[in-house]
């Protein structure tokens, strides 16, 4: 006999009422998690999605998954549909920081706990979510800045930097810029001469770098890309312009995905700051803890490092994303 979830639950409830099933069997009812993903814009995001899907399976949690194609309105729609479906927990990675209060209040009114993963929201009301798990993006920006300051410490003249920003209004774009600027502003020789969004994608990274090269060409000493994918796109643009990536232009990016390691091993990318997408296991644990009534810290920060090209070949076999 085939049963859908609802009939199964009704049957279990009826059996329990009739005293046929012990409470422990009922307690095993699968938890349902609704996850509203940003999109599939980067290698990082693909690894993040894979981590969430595989760890839900492993944890025995039923996952409802949606891909918002980097549009906030799609994420809001998905969250509303999870509220309507009365899932146990909603998790999402907010594409931008602002504009979430209304839908988060709807979830709260429906008594569905919300977990933020990877990116945060900028609401003042922190009762609208249980916890935010993910990286410290400001610190990632600082790491990128510190690496550059050290690398250019003997450089006397100006250091002209172009910046490829992530998605406009997203937490990682805002915070990585902030952390990087905080460090480089200590020395006036560092100048960000151009800064534009490449929306975290290879295609846009390439396109915007082409425009930078057309405008400033040989003046550019450094590229700071808010993620590896944009750096990889930009590397193509630099090569097509007849210049040598990582030599004529020093390239710094963030994430530490396999594609970045390959670029470093090929001598085309100088450094990648790590940002781990493997948030799945932590998220599933949080879902279980929330349902078990355990308190969670408001902020769970991911530990991460930095990988210059000199260590890339040695580190490559250890990389999981
Ligand atoms: O760096 C980028 C992705 O939010 C940390 O989003 C994430 C960022 C990551 O598209 O590659």
Q: Say if residue 246 is in the same domain as residue 155.
A: yes
Name the pLDDT band for 2 (thresholds 50, 70, 90).
very low
Identify the bridge partners of residue 191 per DSSP, sorted by sequence position: 160
Q: How many CB atoms are closer than 10 A to CB 300?
A: 18
Q: Which residues of 260-282 are buried (b: 16+ CB within 10 A; e: fewer)?
A: bbebbeeebbbbbbbbbbbbbeb
- The verdict on residue 315 lying in a domain is no
Phi, psi of 200 (to 5 degrees): 70, 10
Name the pLDDT band for 3 (thresholds 50, 70, 90).
very low
- The verdict on residue 319 lying in a domain is no
CA distances from 28 to 7, 16, 52, 55 (A): 16, 13, 21, 18
Name the pLDDT band for 269 (thresholds 50, 70, 90).
very high
Give the residue, by CA position, lying nearest to ligand 1 atom 8: 172
Please tell me the pTM assigned to this model: 0.91
- The verdict on residue 145 lying in a domain is yes
Residue 1 pLDDT? 36
Q: Say if residue 55 is in the same domain as residue 176.
A: no
Containing domain of residue 263, as a range? 137-275
Ligand 1 centre distance from Cα of residue 219 (Å): 29
Ligand 1 centre distance from Cα of residue 172 (Å): 7
Residue 28 pLDDT? 66
Name all residues whose Cβ lies below 6 A of ligand 1: 41-42, 44-45, 118-119, 172, 200, 227, 229, 254-255, 275
Q: Say if residue 95 is in the same domain as residue 209.
A: no
Tens-place pLDDT, residues 63-95: 999 999 999 999 999 999 999 999 999 999 999
pLDDT of residue 17 exceeding 60, the answer is no
Phi, psi of 260 (to 5 degrees): -70, -40
Q: Say if residue 72 is in the same domain as residue 121.
A: yes
Q: Write down the mean pLDDT value for the chain.
A: 93
The CATH number of the domain holding residue 90 is 3.40.50.2300
Name the pLDDT band for 29 (thresholds 50, 70, 90).
confident
Q: Say if residue 123 is in the same domain as residue 143.
A: no
Which 3 state secondary structure label does DSSP give 182? helix
Could you give the CA distance from residue 218 to residue 287 in angstroms, rounded to a whole number? Answer: 51
Which residues neighbour 32 within 8 Å (Cβ) at sequence distance 6 or greater?
61, 62, 64, 85, 87, 88, 89
Q: What angle do CA 299, 301, 306 make, to 5 degrees?
A: 160
């Amino acid at each position: 006999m085939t049963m859908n979830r609802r009939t199964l639950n009704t049957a279990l409830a009826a059996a329990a009422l009739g005293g046929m099933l012990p409470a422990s069997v009922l307690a095993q009812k699968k938890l349902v998690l609704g996850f509203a993903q940003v999109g599939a814009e980067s290698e990082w995001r693909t690894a993040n999605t894979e981590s969430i899907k595989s760890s839900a399976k492993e944890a025995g949690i039923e996952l409802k998954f949606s891909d918002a194609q980097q549009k906030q309105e799609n994420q809001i729609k998905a969250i509303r549909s999870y509220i309507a479906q009365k899932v146990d927990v909603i998790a999402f990675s907010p594409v931008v920081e602002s504009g979430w209060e209304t839908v988060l209040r709807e979830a709260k009114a429906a008594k569905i706990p919300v977990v933020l993963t990877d990116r945060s929201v900028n609401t003042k009301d922190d009762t609208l979510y249980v916890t935010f798990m993910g990286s410290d993006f400001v610190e990632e920006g600082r790491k990128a800045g510190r690496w550059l300051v050290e690398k250019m410490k003997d450089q006397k003249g100006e250091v002209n930097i172009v910046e490829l920003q992530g998605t406009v209004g997203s937490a990682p774009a805002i915070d990585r810029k902030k952390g990087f600027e905080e460090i480089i502003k200590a020395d006036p020789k560092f100048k960000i001469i151009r800064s534009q969004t490449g929306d975290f994608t290879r295609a846009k990274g390439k396109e915007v770098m082409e425009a930078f090269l057309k405008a400033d060409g040989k003046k550019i000493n450094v590229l700071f890309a808010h993620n590896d994918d944009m750096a990889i796109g930009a590397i193509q643009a630099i090569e097509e312009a007849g210049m040598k990536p990582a030599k004529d232009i020093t390239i710094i990016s963030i994430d530490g995905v396999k594609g970045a390691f390959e670029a470093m091993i090929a001598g085309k990318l100088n450094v990648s700051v790590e940002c781990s997408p493997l948030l799945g296991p932590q998220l599933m644990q949080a879902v279980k803890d929330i349902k078990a009534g355990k308190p969670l810290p408001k902020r769970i920060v991911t530990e991460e490092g930095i990988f210059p090209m000199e260590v890339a070949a040695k580190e490559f076999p250890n990389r999981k994303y």
